[in-house]
């Protein structure tokens, strides 16, 4: 291994240590309560050394969020060949809940902590997240064409309605708000099925247009 390759490897090792330490601190102490100095103390580097990797604490968060969205997107969301459009949509939505199980720290940082920066500030760097949302919208449109979901409601609204319940169950599980013996997995599945059933043609909804979701740079690629 040459000197340049070794330097790049060492730099990536330090960068990884900074991100791992920051993620744990952000989750356990809250983003607003963590300083660059505190992160530096955790990895035993000077604050100046941290700044040589990340210009600000916000940039550390954006790097973590980018990793989190990639993990969400690249998780196992396979469906059997020949499965219906509704089953494919159901599997894609379930992936969001699976992500909260597999990557609880990333999930908490991205979807729970209210003090983190708005991802919309750096939305251009999350192109894969926009692609994931576009695929989900296409699945919803296909379900509407097949009569599985109502076609008179904007797909952007349907995404919100289909995901908010799953996110809520995930937060309840992470914050240990469920009753003794209550299964978070069963509750999440029931919430998803009840929501899908309620979005079949015929139900009157308050949200029929995406007017209230007009922010094109929503923090969540699925909402």
Among 3.40.50.300, 1.25.40.10, 3.20.20.70, 1.10.10.60, name the CATH number for the domain at 3-54: 1.10.10.60
Residue 99 confidence (pLDDT): 96
Residue 199 confidence (pLDDT): 93
Global confidence as pTM: 0.83
Query: Would you give per-residue pLDDT tens digits along the chain (223 residues)?
Result: 787 788 788 899 999 999 999 999 999 999 999 999 999 999 999 999 999 999 999 999 999 999 999 999 886 555 556 689 999 999 999 999 999 999 999 999 999 999 999 887 777 788 888 888 899 999 999 999 999 999 999 999 999 999 999 999 999 999 999 998 899 999 999 999 999 999 988 767 666 666 555 554 455 655 4
Specify the CATH superfamily of domain 66-213.
Answer: Tetracycline Repressor, domain 2 (1.10.357.10)
Q: Which two tokens stand for residue 61?
A: 């968060």
- On the question of a common fold for 3-54 and 66-213, the answer reads no
CB count within 10 Å of CB 123 equals 16
B/e letters for 199-223, b = 16+ CB within 10 Å, e = fewer, are beeeeeeeeeebeeeeeeebbbbbb
Provide the residue ranges of all domains of the chain, joining segments of one domain with +: 3-54, 66-213
Taking CA atoms, 105 is separated from 22, 140, 158, 210, in Å, by: 11, 29, 27, 30
d(CA 194, CA 190): 6
Taking CA atoms, 109 is separated from 3, 20, 26, 57, 142, in Å, by: 36, 12, 7, 14, 32
Degrees (nearest 5) of the Cα angle 133, 110, 125?
A: 55
């Amino acid at each position: 291994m040459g000197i340049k390759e070794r330097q790049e490897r060492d730099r990536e090792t330090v960068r990884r240590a900074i991100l791992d330490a920051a993620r744990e601190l952000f989750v356990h102490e809250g983003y607003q309560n963590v300083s660059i100095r505190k992160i530096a103390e955790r990895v035993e580097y000077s604050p100046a050394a941290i700044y040589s990797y990340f210009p600000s604490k916000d940039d550390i968060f954006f790097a973590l969020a980018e990793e989190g969205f990639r993990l969400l997107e690249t998780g196992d969301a396979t469906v059997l060949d020949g499965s219906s459009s509704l089953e494919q949509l159901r599997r894609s939505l379930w992936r969001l809940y699976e992500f909260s199980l597999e990557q609880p720290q990333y999930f908490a940082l991205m979807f729970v902590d209210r003090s983190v920066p708005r991802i919309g500030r750096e939305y251009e760097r999350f192109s894969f997240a926009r692609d994931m949302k576009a695929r989900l919208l296409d699945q919803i449109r296909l379900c509407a064409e097949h009569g599985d979901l109502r076609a008179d409601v904007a797909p952007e609204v349907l995404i919100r309605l289909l995901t908010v319940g799953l996110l809520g169950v995930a937060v309840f599980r992470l914050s240990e708000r469920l009753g003794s013996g209550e299964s978070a997995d069963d509750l999440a599945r029931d919430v998803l099925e009840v929501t899908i059933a309620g979005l079949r043609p015929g139900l009157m909804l308050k949200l029929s247009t995406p007017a209230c979701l007009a922010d094109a740079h929503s923090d969540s690629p699925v909402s």
